[in-house]
Structure 1
Amino acid sequence: MTERFAIYYAPGQTTALWQRASQWLGRDAATGAMLQPPVPGLMRGRLNMLVAQPARYGFHATLKAPMRLAPGTTREALEGALADFVMTRRGAAIGRLRLAIFDRTLVLMPELQSERLRQLAAQCVVAFEPFRAPLRAEDRARRAASGLSERQLMLLERFGYPYVMEAFRFHMTLTGRLAPEEAGPVQAAAQAFFAPVLEAPLTLDRLSLFHEPAPGQPLRRLVDFPFSIPVDV
């Protein structure tokens, strides 16, 4: 089985943040629509090159990274587990987002990451681990070659992804890696483009199931699972 599933946070499809981020990326992962609005300060063709990788994944924050399903598990069972998970837990406040350069990529991230947000992300990692097939050797080697710390290598072996637990940083990726001379102009253009949607605080009020049908294909947003207990803001 080559398809993969991911558990992400993504804003509601009717929100201004989702719509504006999808325009920036040039693709709406929920509808599959390709979007090419102008972005002042950037040539659209150049922006399309800069956003190629995050556009394939869709606008999101990773909670459970893309995974092949373990033998004996199914998409239906995963969706059932997601429904159970959100029924018994409360979401988390994210707060206001800011633009930042993170690992040489442009991202949206909270002004301050709360412990509750980290705890909820960790619960997602653990709760859906039974659905994850073991990493393939080539995937393990690719990750291990990316300069991980000893602790991150341990997390990779245990959970199939190195940026979890205490290594988790909530972020929503807007570009691939930027050359130093591009980071400033791209961030300035993004600041103007996203300014109208960055004033209101955000809440992690749902989990979203994304699907990659085959390696290298765009991920699609399949279904949302809203938390049943209101978030304390």
Structure 2
Amino acid sequence: MSGAPAPAAAPRYALYYAPRPDEGLAVAASRWLGRNPDSGQARPLAAAGPFGRDRLEAITAEPRLYGFHGTLKPPMALCDGASESDLLAAVGRFAAGRRPVSVPSMQLAGLSGFMAFVPAQPSAELQDLADSCVIEFDEFRRPADESELARRRAACLSPRQEELLVRWGYPHVLEQWRFHLTLTGRIPDEGERAAVAELLQRHFGGFIDRPLAVRDLCVFRQPAPGRPFLAMARFRLGGGRRVSSEVWPAS
């Protein structure tokens, strides 16, 4: 499968881990980000701690667009000859042959200026799952065009990251990948970042230093540039498809 650069309005697809919408972590994340990626329902954020609503919405704007998730295969447009149904069928077959992954403990961390949940210790099983997703589904990926490559290169990539960008369309894959569940955009000011971290400690206190069960492989879809990603399908690792139509969690 191959093809020319995608049309400007082509949808993009990504393979993510995301907690099931009825799980406590998903409920807390939906309230923090102001959007439920399974239902697509959104609501305004409330002021919290020293932050007004407008500032919190700015801090969470980027992860709100993508939905609460951990990336396994970065967003991609489909190449010529590949259809959405082809991708879903392939993901279902792949997921059926994999086992769920248990991460013993998750913690809050700062990564390049943004806040995220990360494993307290590296997980070889999680790394293998992500590596396999990158490699196995690359046949569906439309190659990055020059504007996309230039945008990625503006981040001052290392030589190895440049190699990965050219080969896989993204610089932070394989050994350059780190599993993380993004909670904020970049916050340059250290004092403000510390205040956000304190707020996150309170909001997500029940999930810090606790295990994380990675049970599903999710397909998220972005219909057009700038539009929010939505969870369109979930496949249980070990077999079985589960499509979510969960409503916004009650207060």
In the alignment, structure 1 residue 19 sits paired with structure 2 residue 21: no
The number of residue pairs the alignment matches comes to 229
Cα distance, 1:32 vs. partner?
Answer: 1.1
Amino acid at match of 1:50: I
Amino acid at match of 2:231: R
State the partner residue of 1:177: 186
Query: CA-to-partner distance for each residue in 1:57-114, whole Å, 9 max, x for gaps?
Result: 0000011111000100000000000000011111222222111100100101111121
In the alignment, structure 1 residue 57 sits paired with structure 2 residue 66: yes
State the partner residue of 2:78: 69
**Is contact 2:106–2:207 with CA below 8 Å preserved after alignment?**
no
State the partner residue of 2:55: 46
Cα distance, 1:36 vs. partner?
Answer: 3.4
**What is the DSSP-based 3-state SS (H/G/I as helix, E as strand, rest coil) of the residue aligned with 2:204?**
helix
Amino acid at match of 1:70: C
Amino acid at match of 2:172: Y
Q: Distance between the aligned counterparts of 1:81 and 1:143, measured in 2?
A: 28
Q: Give identity over the alignment, percent.
A: 38
- Correspondent of 1:207 among 217, 229, 235: 217
Structure 1 unpaired stretches of 5+: none
Query: CA-to-partner distance for each residue in 1:22-48, whole Å, 9 max, x for gaps?
Result: 111111111111133536413222110
Amino acid at match of 1:26: G
In the alignment, structure 1 residue 223 sits paired with structure 2 residue 233: yes
**Is contact 1:22–1:35 with CA below 8 Å preserved after alignment?**
no
Cα distance, 1:173 vs. partner?
Answer: 0.6
Amino acid at match of 2:202: A
> RMSD of the TM alignment (CA)?
1.3
**What is the DSSP-based 3-state SS (H/G/I as helix, E as strand, rest coil) of the residue aligned with 1:108?**
strand
Q: Distance between the aligned counterparts of 1:147 and 1:203, measured in 2?
A: 34
- Give TM-score scaled by structure 2 length: 0.88
Q: Distance between the aligned counterparts of 2:16 and 2:71, measured in 1?
A: 5
**What is the DSSP-based 3-state SS (H/G/I as helix, E as strand, rest coil) of the residue aligned with 2:139?**
helix
- Give TM-score scaled by structure 1 length: 0.94
- Deviates further, 197-206 or 16-25: 197-206
Structure 2 unpaired stretches of 5+: 1-6, 240-251
